């Protein structure tokens, strides 16, 4: 779709916003200034040690204690450069942090180890999200558990996502493409797998995608019921009768004896586990290996919907 | 005069047996005990580093799973920071050299000095116990709320770091008092060697900053064990507050690591160019200046943490200010070489290596201090490369240089120069091969603390791993050089380098209380006239 898909051959990723281009400009300046400084210091060092290497033992060296002029110069000149860089960096930082008005607002929820994106229309998606090109987008982010950090190299920006508060992030992508989202704040075992994609598309494509929400306007319980009718009804009845799998009536909150002898309460976590990894804990009386996993087939919204639906089956 | 020297008595052979070492109050023996412990810790931390680079050799799992990787990463960091680099120069080289530099018989509080060593040992033992007990996978920074929720091993590692902190505080206190009270007659502050200035500045940081870490770790333990909400939002706490507390210590700690290294480099450069140091006062005062400013820059670790925009800007500004005294030092060292009489022994090679790598570490530090630039680089491999250039390229190069420089004084023997230089070649080349590609990886956006990475990052990671193993070989050669020097080294004589500071006026190894006759100082430390 765009040059952005491939970043491997570049020293910096494709710059997909105006601010990212501004970042690249300041970075180029810093690299050149750094290179000159290194050549001065390291070059001076190499020249001096070669030119003044010891030729005979016991040779005299001049007693040069200091030079106020030189020392002033090599304090003052770096200071001036540092101040230029500081002010330039300040300006850039301000651009990154000044939230635009009238932006498309998306709620971002991070948890170990995935990203969920919620639109005003009610659409919630995990693992990838869509935004229109050339329009400001503002992310209002929070975490359900530990610290995470929302990082898109193509936008040259990141922001920590903190439990118990909102942090914000904005961008205005000016190139179509799919851009990598990383979690940049260490969050445990699957930290390096906590990835997502941001798809920058045209306004028309975006509207079409957003309106294609199969669950538009539905409550969580209704979503659960729809998923039930499509995926679960074959094996699970809405009574307490035993089918291929247990009936759902009164199941939520009940203590169940497992095949391995332990007792587990059928709470949100147990139901989630049973959908994603059904053989982890099988209720006594049911053979293992019958129920398939639904990992990768159901998104967070659908999982939550099923759980909420089960709660209503009393 | 030299009856004791003629009788062959020195601090090494004056008493014998393990017990005489473990109960020794002699700063030189305690220094050697630090040397051995730090070398062992370094070997362990280094082994973890080799394993990490092996795992990162290719994308996907290579030799361990993600959880083991996170534990390895945590212990590599915690061991290298708390047990190697922080005690490395002050407690090991500083202990041995400071009283000799000052013309003193010992440090001010020899018993406290021994106790510091035991604090390090006990704290380290507890930290290692956590490894066997349950591991810890928080990273050495213990960020909340992750560290409040993860496995129980974390509490032991935190407790170990807490105890080690006392070792650091007591050593700092000892050095401050020693510097003030035990200088030889005639040694004014402006006649102290620059290594003493560096140690003194470091000691101020150790005494003032380390208690904050202790308090922070204590609060963390209280939160985990007693459920008192300080940092965990579920308990009404603030996770970002932990970062403020942690970096309020850990940023000055960065200077605890680098300032003494700068002191070592000042000593080596002047001795091996056989010329007085250029800008003595500027170098001395810049150490103090860096120490003072370092208390006000902690927020540059938190530009994207959620702290306010104005805080980020202020911390960026103050961080820039640290660059000025640092630049002064670099220029002064280079100016010292000008018209010198330069001898390329291994200590100088390591000091030049320090300057080379520290310059790169320094300019990339300015890049990271630029707040608008840091939002991209924060928590990427660019940061990893930067602080390894400073901590390994800087501090470890200085430790190696310092060992080779003072080895003749410590043991009265010379090391094999050829192999010592070869160890430098391996470490220096290996270091650049390891860490330079990581700057590029960071610019490409590869986040740090990643067990696995996207395929596009593989080639540079592979180069980096080869470099790491090259460094490993270099340090093994260095270990061989030290052991060979101990067993077979040629006698060094009191002053093999022709240096001018006081430690070179006494025998090698020095007698029990350093100087047979109290030295009287009549001039500055670098009188190469």
Contact A162 B359 (CB under 8 A): no
Span A268-293, average pLDDT:
85
User: In A, residues 175-194, which contact B (CB 8 Å cutoff)?
Assistant: 180, 182-193
Contact A13 B444 (CB under 8 A): yes
**Chain A residues with CB-CB distance to B316 below 8 A:** 86, 89-90, 93
| Confidence at A12, pLDDT banded by 50, 70, 90 | confident
Span A224-246, average pLDDT:
85
Q: How far apart (Å, rounded) are the C-alpha atoms in residues B513 and B10?
A: 9
| Contacts across the A-B interface (CB distance below 8 Å) | 265
Smallest CA–CA distance, residue B434 to chain A, in Å, is: 17
Smallest CA–CA distance, residue A1 to chain B, in Å, is: 19
| Confidence at B263, pLDDT banded by 50, 70, 90 | very high
B297 HSE (CA, 13 A, CB side): 26
Contact B367 A27 (CB under 8 A): yes
Q: Can you give the residue ranges of every domain in chain A? A: 1-54+99-213, 220-312
**Chain B residues with CB-CB distance to A156 below 8 A:** 375-376
H or E element, residue A280: none
Partner residue opposite A63 with nearest CB, options B276, B356, B370: B276
The two tokens of residue B96 are: 């041995």
Helix, strand, coil fractions of chain A, as percent rounded to 5: 35, 20, 40
DSSP-derived pairing of the beta strands A124-126 and A177-183: unpaired
Identify the residue among B145, B304, B498 best suited for mutation to test binding to A, counting A beta carbons within 10 A and taking the highest.
Answer: B304
Identify the residue among A76, A78, A196 best suited for mutation to test binding to B, counting B beta carbons within 10 A and taking the highest.
Answer: A78
| Confidence at A243, pLDDT banded by 50, 70, 90 | confident
**Chain B residues with CB-CB distance to A18 below 8 A:** none
Contact A66 B278 (CB under 8 A): yes
| Confidence at A7, pLDDT banded by 50, 70, 90 | very low
Smallest CA–CA distance, residue B305 to chain A, in Å, is: 5
| Mean pLDDT for all residues in chain A | 89
Span A177-186, average pLDDT:
96
Contact B327 A74 (CB under 8 A): yes
In B, minimum Cα distance to A81 occurs at B320
**Chain B residues with CB-CB distance to A151 below 8 A:** 379, 445, 447
Is the pLDDT assigned to residue A127 strictly greater than 60?
yes
Are residues A215 and A298 in contact, defined by beta-carbon separation less than 8 angstroms?
no
Q: What is the reported pLDDT for B482?
A: 96
Tokens 């509207």 correspond to A207
H or E element, residue B255: helix B239-273
Residues 6+ apart with CB under 8 A from B430: B467, B468, B469, B470, B471, B472, B473, B474
DSSP-derived pairing of the beta strands A255-257 and A157-161: unpaired
Contact A75 B327 (CB under 8 A): yes
- Alpha-carbon distances, residue A30 vs A76, B16, B393 (angstroms): 18, 58, 21
Is the pLDDT assigned to residue A4 strictly greater than 80?
no
Tokens 């006649």 correspond to B191
| Confidence at A49, pLDDT banded by 50, 70, 90 | very high
Partner residue opposite A89 with nearest CB, options B335, B359, B370: B370
Q: What CATH class has A220-312?
A: mainly alpha
- Write the DSSP string, A45-60: HHHHHHHTB-SSTT--
In A, minimum Cα distance to B455 occurs at A8
Is the pLDDT assigned to residue B243 strictly greater than 90?
yes
| Confidence at A253, pLDDT banded by 50, 70, 90 | confident
| Mean pLDDT for all residues in chain B | 93
Identify the residue among B445, B454, B500, B527 best suited for mutation to test binding to A, counting A beta carbons within 10 A and taking the highest.
Answer: B445
Contact B372 A74 (CB under 8 A): no
The two tokens of residue A202 are: 């045209």
**Chain A residues with CB-CB distance to B311 below 8 A:** none
Q: What CATH class has A1-54+99-213?
A: mainly beta
**Chain B residues with CB-CB distance to A8 below 8 A:** 455-456
Q: What is the pLDDT of residues B117-155, one digit of tens each?
A: 999 999 999 999 887 777 888 899 989 888 888 776 888
User: Same topology for domains A1-54+99-213 and A220-312, yes or no?
Assistant: no
Q: What is the pLDDT of residues B394-423, one digit of tens each?
A: 999 999 999 999 999 999 999 999 999 999
B22-505 is classed in which CATH architecture?
A: Up-down Bundle (1.20)
Q: What is the pLDDT of residues B266-320, one digit of tens each?
A: 999 999 999 999 999 999 999 999 999 999 999 999 999 989 999 999 999 999 9
| Confidence at A2, pLDDT banded by 50, 70, 90 | very low
Q: What is the pLDDT of residues B183-238, one digit of tens each?
A: 999 999 999 999 999 999 999 999 999 999 999 989 988 888 888 889 988 888 89
Is the pLDDT assigned to residue B241 strictly greater than 70?
yes
Q: What is the reported pLDDT for A3?
A: 43
Q: How far apart (Å, rounded) are the C-alpha atoms in residues B152 and B150?
A: 7
**Chain B residues with CB-CB distance to A86 below 8 A:** 316-317, 320, 369-370
- Alpha-carbon distances, residue B278 vs A67, A305, B194, B528 (angstroms): 8, 73, 11, 12
Q: What is the pLDDT of residues B414-458, one digit of tens each?
A: 999 999 999 999 999 999 999 999 999 999 999 999 999 999 999
Residue from A119, A122, A156, A153 nearest A138 by CA:
A119
Q: Is B263 helix (H, G, I), strand (E, B) or coil?
A: helix
**A69 CB within 8 Å of a chain B CB:** no
Span B19-37, average pLDDT:
95
Smallest CA–CA distance, residue A246 to chain B, in Å, is: 34
Q: What is the reported pLDDT for A277?
A: 85
Tokens 């002898």 correspond to A261
Tokens 């708390």 correspond to B82
The two tokens of residue B443 are: 């610019």
Is the pLDDT assigned to residue B46 strictly greater than 90?
yes
DSSP-derived pairing of the beta strands A128-132 and A196-201: parallel
**Chain A residues with CB-CB distance to B269 below 8 A:** none
**Chain A residues with CB-CB distance to B352 below 8 A:** 45, 49
Partner residue opposite A160 with nearest CB, options B305, B443, B453: B305
Span A274-294, average pLDDT:
84
**Chain B residues with CB-CB distance to A159 below 8 A:** 304, 306, 375
Is the pLDDT assigned to residue A221 strictly greater than 60?
yes
**Chain A residues with CB-CB distance to B271 below 8 A:** none
**Chain B residues with CB-CB distance to A90 below 8 A:** 313, 316, 371-372
Smallest CA–CA distance, residue B380 to chain A, in Å, is: 7
Are residues B105 and B184 in contact, defined by beta-carbon separation less than 8 angstroms?
no
Partner residue opposite A184 with nearest CB, options B309, B316, B447: B447
Is the pLDDT assigned to residue A122 strictly greater than 90?
no
Tokens 């009940």 correspond to A254
H or E element, residue B428: helix B417-444
Contact B373 A26 (CB under 8 A): yes
B454 HSE (CA, 13 A, CB side): 16
A196 HSE (CA, 13 A, CB side): 24
Are residues B427 and B357 in contact, defined by beta-carbon separation less than 8 angstroms?
no
B483 alpha-carbon distance from chain centroid: 22
Q: How far apart (Å, rounded) are the C-alpha atoms in residues B235 and B444?
A: 38
**Chain A residues with CB-CB distance to B444 below 8 A:** 7, 10-13, 153
Contact A147 B143 (CB under 8 A): yes
Contact A180 B454 (CB under 8 A): yes
Q: What is the pLDDT of residues B151-186, one digit of tens each?
A: 768 888 889 999 999 999 999 999 999 999 999 999
Contact B316 A89 (CB under 8 A): yes
**Interface predicted TM-score (ipTM):** 0.92
The percentage of chain B sitting over the pLDDT mark of 70, rounded to a whole number, equals: 98
Smallest CA–CA distance, residue A125 to chain B, in Å, is: 23
What would you measure as the largest C-alpha separation in chain B, in angstroms? Answer: 71
Contact A89 B452 (CB under 8 A): no
Smallest CA–CA distance, residue A29 to chain B, in Å, is: 10
Contact B337 A48 (CB under 8 A): yes
The two tokens of residue A269 are: 């976590």
Are residues B287 and B262 in contact, defined by beta-carbon separation less than 8 angstroms?
yes
Is the pLDDT assigned to residue A6 strictly greater than 50?
no
């Amino acid at each position: 779709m765009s040059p952005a898909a491939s970043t491997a051959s570049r020293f910096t990723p494709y710059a997909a916003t105006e601010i990212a281009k501004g970042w690249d400009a300041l970075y180029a300046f810093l690299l050149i200034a750094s290179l000159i400084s290194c050549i001065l210091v390291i070059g001076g060092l190499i020249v001096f040690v070669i030119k003044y290497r010891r030729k005979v033992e016991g040779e005299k060296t001049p007693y040069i204690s200091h030079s106020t002029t030189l020392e002033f110069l090599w304090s003052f000149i770096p200071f001036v450069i540092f101040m230029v860089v500081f002010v330039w960096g300040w300006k850039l930082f301000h651009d990154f942090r000044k939230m635009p008005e009238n932006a498309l607002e998306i709620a971002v929820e991070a948890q170990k180890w995935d990203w969920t994106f919620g639109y005003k229309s009610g659409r919630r998606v995990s693992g990838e999200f869509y935004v229109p090109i050339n329009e400001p987008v503002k992310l209002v982010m929070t975490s359900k558990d530990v610290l995470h950090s929302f990082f898109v190299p193509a936008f040259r920006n990141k922001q920590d996502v903190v439990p118990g508060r909102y942090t914000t992030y904005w961008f205005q992508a000016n190139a179509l493409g799919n851009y990598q989202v990383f979690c940049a704040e260490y969050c445990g075992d699957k930290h390096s797998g906590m990835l997502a994609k941001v798809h920058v598309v045209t306004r028309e494509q975006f509207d079409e995608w957003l309106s294609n929400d199969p669950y538009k306007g539905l409550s969580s319980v209704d979503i659960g019921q729809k998923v039930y009718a499509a995926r679960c009804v074959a094996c699970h009845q809405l009574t307490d009768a035993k089918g291929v799998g247990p009936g759902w009536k009164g199941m939520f909150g009940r203590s169940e004896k497992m095949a391995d002898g332990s007792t587990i309460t059928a709470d949100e976590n147990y139901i989630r586990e049973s959908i994603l990894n059904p053989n982890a804990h099988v209720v006594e009386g049911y053979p293992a290996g019958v129920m398939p996993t639904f990992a990768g087939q159901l998104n967070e919204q659908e999982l939550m919907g099923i759980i909420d639906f089960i709660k209503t089956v009393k | 005069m030299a009856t004791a020297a003629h009788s062959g008595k020195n601090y090494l052979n004056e008493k014998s047996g393990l017990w005489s070492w473990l109960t020794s109050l002699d700063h030189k023996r305690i220094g050697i005990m630090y040397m051995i412990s730090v070398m062992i810790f370094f070997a362990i931390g280094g082994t973890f580093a080799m394993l990490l680079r092996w795992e990162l050799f290719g994308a996907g799992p290579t030799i361990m799973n993600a959880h083991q990787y996170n534990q390895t990463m945590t212990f590599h960091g915690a061991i290298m920071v708390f047990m190697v680099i922080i005690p490395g120069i002050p407690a090991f080289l500083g202990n041995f050299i400071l009283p000799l530099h000052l013309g003193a018989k010992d440090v001010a509080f020899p018993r406290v000095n021994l106790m510091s060593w035991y604090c390090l040992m006990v704290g380290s033992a507890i930290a290692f116990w956590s490894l066997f007990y349950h591991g810890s996978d928080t990273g050495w920074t213990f960020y909340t709320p992750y560290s409040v929720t993860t496995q129980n091993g974390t509490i032991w590692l935190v407790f170990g770091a807490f105890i080690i902190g006392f070792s650091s505080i007591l050593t700092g206190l000892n050095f401050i008092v020693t510097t003030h009270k035990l200088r030889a007659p005639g040694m004014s502050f402006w006649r102290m060697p620059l290594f003493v200035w560096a140690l003194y500045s470091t000691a101020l940081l150790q005494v003032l900053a380390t208690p904050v870490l202790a308090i922070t770790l204590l609060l963390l333990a209280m939160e985990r064990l007693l459920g008192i909400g300080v940092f965990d939002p579920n308990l009404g706490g603030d996770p970002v507050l932990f970062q403020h507390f942690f970096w309020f210590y850990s940023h000055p700690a960065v200077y605890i690591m680098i300032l003494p290294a700068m002191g070592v480099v000042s000593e080596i450069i002047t001795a091996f160019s056989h010329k007085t140091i250029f800008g003595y006062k500027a170098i001395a005062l810049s150490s103090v200046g860096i120490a003072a400013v370092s208390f006000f820059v902690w927020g540059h670790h938190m530009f994207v943490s959620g702290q306010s925009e104005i805080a980020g800007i202020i911390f960026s500004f103050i961080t820039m200010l640290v660059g000025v005294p640092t630049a002064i030092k670099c220029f002064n060292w280079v100016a010292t070489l000008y018209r010198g009489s330069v001898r390329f022994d291994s200590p100088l090679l390591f000091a030049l290596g320090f300057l080379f790598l520290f310059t790169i570490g320094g300019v990339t530090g300015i890049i990271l201090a630029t707040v608008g630039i840091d939002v991209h680089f924060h928590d990427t491999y660019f940061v990893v490369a930067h602080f390894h250039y400073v901590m390994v390229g800087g501090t470890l190069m200085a430790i190696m240089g310092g060992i080779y420089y003072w080895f003749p004084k410590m043991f009265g023997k010379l090391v094999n120069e050829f192999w010592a230089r070869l160890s430098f070649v391996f470490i220096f080349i290996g270091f650049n091969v390891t860490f330079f590609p990581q700057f590029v990886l960071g610019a490409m956006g590869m986040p740090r603390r990643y067990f696995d990475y996207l395929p596009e990052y593989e080639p540079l990671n592979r180069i980096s791993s080869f470099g790491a193993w090259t460094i490993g070989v270099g340090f093994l050669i260095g270990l061989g050089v030290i052991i060979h020097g101990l067993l077979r080294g040629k006698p060094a004589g009191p002053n093999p380098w022709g240096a001018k500071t006081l430690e070179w006026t006494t025998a090698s190894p020095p007698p029990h209380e350093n100087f047979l006759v109290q030295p009287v100082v009549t001039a500055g430390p670098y009188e190469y006239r």
